[in-house]
Amino acid sequence: MKFSPIIYLIGMLLCILSIFMIVPAFVDWFYGNENWPAFVGSSMATLFVGLILFLTNKGSATEHLELRQAFLLTNSAWISIAIFGSLPFLLSDIDMSFVDAFFESTSGITTTGATVIENLEAKSHGILIWRALLQWLGVFTIQAKGTGDVHTLFSDITSDGFLRGYVGLNAGFKSADSNLNSLMGSGHISFTLDQGKYTKRYQGIVSLEEPNMSKTTELYFNNSEQLETKFLTFNFYDIDISNRKNLFSAGLIMLQKLPVKSSFDEESNEEVWQNSLNFLSTLGKEEFLSTNLTSEEILYRLFNELEITVYNEIIIQDQCRCSDKKIKFAIKNLSKKELQEIADENGNVKVVCEFCKTERIFPSKTCN
């Protein structure tokens, strides 16, 4: 088995990782925090090792990896990224051991949510951003499959905040029932984090047993992530007859009980958790969906007795990622028989994107 293609790809991944380290370095420098040299030094060390691996194995064939090579690449990539991703934690002023820094990096990459950093909210902006980057370098996907009239729910979001989704319905579907079991029947829902072509996908699956999506997602976090979680959701729908418009608004608050290091801290953490649940239960629909209150104001109203840190908001954009190039590539991978089956009498292939409903027509001969 040749190792050069594996080393080449790991080198490429480390070079990419080193570029992302510049982001928290700039943020810490901008805010005057003293941790920016830790990120710069980590970036230079990661780039140096990555370039050596990349350049010394350049020209290695990576398009057709053997099964054993693929398995070795997946494990090696996870370990390599976790090791070099731990450098900023190790070199910063947090004063972490290598074991703790490696755990923190691994926790971020696998999105477990666990942390060994005490008083995390008080750490520098760069450290907080680096933890976020380790968790969100990729695409997060939620997909539900069922036997009911609503047979598919799909949504994904990229680390840049680009969101898309669609609902698959059986023909003639009509229902005002909001119960998830009635709509989807039996089935499952999967939560997937895909961080790139050469890394292992992280996925958790739970059955569709709860009456709504909030309860189902809580079950996923409790079972797969081992994190006690509570969701509160509200929505409003009406029809403005005079302006012929559909009016819809919705909101969600997610509470999550993060792990602590000692049993003494756990007792205090449990008390804060129960208080937070009690505060959350006081929030009503009208207050939550009010246009006169910002999200920050609602949080302060609910949890003013606790110490609150509000981070910069992330702008979510509705954007499909389909393109002529991607669709042509998919069509080219079809067999000649499959291509003939989907082509019309003129030899054209019509493709409609499930997300944005854009219709594209390709002459089948251009896809060969």
* Cα–Cα distance measured from residue 195 to residue 5, given in angstroms and rounded to the nearest whole number: 20
Helices then strands, counting H and E runs in the chain, come out as: 13, 10
Task: Rounding to the nearest 10 degrees, give the CA dihedral for residues 265, 268, 270, 273.
Answer: -120
Superfamily of domain 138-224: Hsp33 domain (3.55.30.10)
Percent of the chain with pLDDT over 90: 11
302: helix, coil or strand? helix
Which DSSP state fits 201?
A: P
Domain covering 324-367 in this structure, CATH number: 3.90.1280.10
In this predicted structure, what is the pLDDT of residue 15? 92
pLDDT of 138 strictly over 70: no
pLDDT band, very low/low/confident/very high, at 368 (cuts 50, 70, 90) = low
Which DSSP state fits 159?
A: T
- Supply the pTM of this predicted model: 0.59
In this predicted structure, what is the pLDDT of residue 87? 92
pLDDT band, very low/low/confident/very high, at 46 (cuts 50, 70, 90) = very high
pLDDT band, very low/low/confident/very high, at 195 (cuts 50, 70, 90) = low
Tokens of 139: 């695409």
Pick left, alpha or beta for residue 57 (phi over 0 → left; psi -120 to 50 → alpha; otherwise beta).
Answer: alpha
pLDDT of 251 strictly over 70: yes
pLDDT digits (tens, 9 = 90+) for 104-127: 888 777 665 567 777 666 678 888
pLDDT of 282 strictly over 70: yes
Neighbour-count burial of 290, counting CB atoms closer than 10 A to its CB (0-12 exposed, 13-18 middle, 19+ buried)? middle
Q: Would the CATH topology of 138-224 be identical to that of 324-367? A: no
**Ranges of each domain in the chain:** 4-135, 138-224, 228-319, 324-367
pLDDT of 273 strictly over 60: yes
